Structure 1
């Protein structure tokens, strides 16, 4: 039986080294790791990604699949829920690094199964909703660039776009404002502004053309 880490890595997310280190620091003994780089978790199904295909080939009954969070499997509700159900049916246990969640198909109790399936559905829906929120904020930024560049732009953000995306990612994972401020170097007040009005924060970055 093997423990396999699957990490989907984009330019805006935590890097592969960090995801593995985070898993090992949480007590997981990783036998193998697959890193997916530069592939959308929204438009490309897990089984259609290069490393996703390898993951399907590698997993055997009794294996444990480790992911930082279910959004690493994807940000499409149907794809994520189908993938997890498929893995559980094959006797694979799915575990998350964040909050140490465990999903498997061993339980026969109907109430426990219902709770498990509802939690999977909720987590997958949250991942898709976060992706939609990010896309919406990006559209606001694009629209802002098309506007009158000579109009008053307000105060320049104290963070760049990469830091903004890291703050958004940590907020989506349930981290508190103080912890995020410490991890990113962004003031707690700025973290709260991003949390409460993400679209406006994205718009401010676009106005100042912050990369």
Structure 2
């Protein structure tokens, strides 16, 4: 008997997958048949998707919210769609794009339209991601040019840093006390100490 499945992917552990799950539930996808992958932006390992692929059989129906859930670029989306629909004989319904529902138009014209829409949408999805990356890079470059610093703010040295270092080296005060007075971790203290000594040499 044919089964109904759903696949959810979010590109960061901070993103909420709830919207995708709600949309799948509206279409009577059982929670046990919903496969969810969370990952960082750099990684595209999809263990749950791989499990889902093994589970899918000819005639099953797979729901996804949007076409970019299938892959990270134009070619990958195309390849996954071909593998699912042609090799495994699975029907796919893309919730955000009703034209991409392989249950409709099984004739030559219907297949042609679905394939055409798929190509356009997967191209648009990749193009949009690339534009977002460009805008982010441009924004960072502009911010840096304005002197905006990224990352953790630099910890300022206390005015008596030299004295504290001297007393610590002479074993007059223990390191934990120096760290407390400087409000630094041990790693930061040693890094600042190296920088301080380099400045002294100049």
Q: TM-score range by the shorter chain?
A: 0.5 to 0.7
Please report how far the alpha carbon of residue 18 of structure 1 lies from its aligned counterpart in structure 2 after TM superposition: 2.0
Equivalent-residue separation in structure 2 for 1:59 and 1:79 (angstroms): 19
User: Aligned with 2:37: secondary structure?
Assistant: strand
Q: Which residue of 1 aligns with 2:83?
A: 86
Partner deviation per Cα, 1:118-174 (whole Å, 9 max, x = no partner): 111111111101111110111012202321238xxxxxxxxxxxxxxxxxxxxxxxx
Partner deviation per Cα, 1:13-54 (whole Å, 9 max, x = no partner): 8622221112323xx1113111110144x873xxx5212211
Equivalent-residue separation in structure 2 for 1:33 and 1:134 (angstroms): 29
TM-score by length of 1: 0.60
**Which of 47, 50, 55 is the aligned partner of 1:53?**
50
User: Aligned with 2:12: secondary structure?
Assistant: coil
User: CA 1:138–1:97 in structure 2 vs 1: closer, same or farther (change >3 Å)?
Assistant: same
Q: Do 1:75 and 1:124's aligned partners in 2 also have CA atoms closer than 8 Å?
A: no
Query: How many residues are matched?
Result: 143
Equivalent-residue separation in structure 2 for 1:118 and 1:76 (angstroms): 16
Q: Which residue of 2 aligns with 1:30?
A: 29
Equivalent-residue separation in structure 2 for 1:43 and 1:10 (angstroms): 9
Give the gaps of 5 or more residues in structure 1.
151-211
Give the gaps of 5 or more residues in structure 2.
149-202
Q: Do 2:71 and 2:80's aligned partners in 1 also have CA atoms closer than 8 Å?
A: no
Q: Do 1:6 and 1:65's aligned partners in 2 also have CA atoms closer than 8 Å?
A: yes
Q: Which residue of 2 aligns with 1:107?
A: 106
* Residue correspondence of structure 1 range 154-165 to structure 2 within 5 A: none
**Which of 132, 135, 148 is the aligned partner of 2:133?**
135
Structure ranking higher on relative contact order (CA contacts 8 Å, 6+ apart): 1
* Residue correspondence of structure 1 range 131-210 to structure 2 within 5 A: 131-149=129-147
Q: Do 2:105 and 2:111's aligned partners in 1 also have CA atoms closer than 8 Å?
A: no
User: Aligned with 2:126: secondary structure?
Assistant: helix
Equivalent-residue separation in structure 2 for 1:105 and 1:59 (angstroms): 20
Please report how far the alpha carbon of residue 108 of structure 1 lies from its aligned counterpart in structure 2 after TM superposition: 4.4
Q: Which residue of 1 aligns with 2:122?
A: 124
User: CA 1:57–1:11 in structure 2 vs 1: closer, same or farther (change >3 Å)?
Assistant: same
TM-score by length of 2: 0.63
Q: Pairwise CA RMSD of aligned residues? A: 2.5
Q: Do 1:65 and 1:92's aligned partners in 2 also have CA atoms closer than 8 Å?
A: yes
User: Aligned with 2:106: secondary structure?
Assistant: coil
